[in-house]
């Protein structure tokens, strides 16, 4: 059984689409609602590193206290940004997905397809109606 972890926000359409794409591959992921159960600081730092990102690249601006906290200040170091994410988990962009194939911030939602070792099992459309997977389990518009 493939072990996949999703750091999920059920209020986020992209996060819901990612979760649905994982399930469309026949995998039931371990879902962590990170606003209720944020990752420990060391784990978050490790996930960011494994994803090949920086803490700044994982920061979410929209709908967060990003501007009020002055996080746009380019002089803030990684530790300061991690501290802000620990104090305000809403600053952690989502969904962050961990699979045997890597760690990735899955925006847009179809980015999760690169992390799924199992093929899609049928057609899939995002909540907005955009077709991502056809009836044969193949990515729409894929080369």
At 111-140, the pLDDT tens digits run 999 999 999 999 999 999 999 999 999 999
Query: Which structure tokens are listed for 66?
Result: 């990003």
Which ranges of the chain would DSSP assign to H, the alpha helix? 13-24, 41-50, 55-58, 78-87
| Selected catalytic residue, list 6, 12, 22, 81 | 12
- In the prediction, which pLDDT does 142 show? 62
Catalytic residue check, 106:
no
Average pLDDT over residues 75-89: 98
Three-state DSSP class for residue 133: strand
Query: Residue 57: how many CB atoms within 10 A of its CB?
Result: 12
- In the prediction, which pLDDT does 1 show? 60
| Domain residue ranges of the chain, discontinuous segments joined by + | 5-14+25-31+39-118
- Model-level pTM? 0.93
What superfamily would CATH give domain 5-14+25-31+39-118? Glutaredoxin (3.40.30.10)
pLDDT at 105 over 60: yes
- In the prediction, which pLDDT does 21 show? 97
- Residue 141's pLDDT band, with cuts at 50, 70 and 90, is confident
């Amino acid at each position: 059984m493939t072990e996949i972890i999703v750091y999920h926000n059920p209020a986020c359409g992209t996060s819901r689409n990612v979760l649905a794409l994982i399930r469309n591959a026949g995998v039931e992921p371990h879902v962590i609602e990170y606003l209720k159960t944020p990752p420990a600081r060391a784990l978050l730092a490790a996930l960011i590193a494994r994803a090949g990102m920086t803490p700044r690249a994982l920061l979410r601006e929209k709908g967060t206290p990003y501007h009020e906290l002055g996080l746009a200040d380019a002089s803030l170091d990684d530790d300061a940004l991690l501290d802000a994410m620990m104090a305000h988990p809403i600053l952690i962009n989502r969904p962050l997905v961990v699979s045997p194939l890597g760690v990735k911030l899955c925006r847009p939602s179809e980015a999760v397809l690169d992390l799924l070792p199992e093929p899609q099992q049928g057609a899939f459309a995002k909540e907005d109606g955009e077709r991502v997977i056809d009836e044969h389990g193949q990515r729409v518009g894929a080369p």
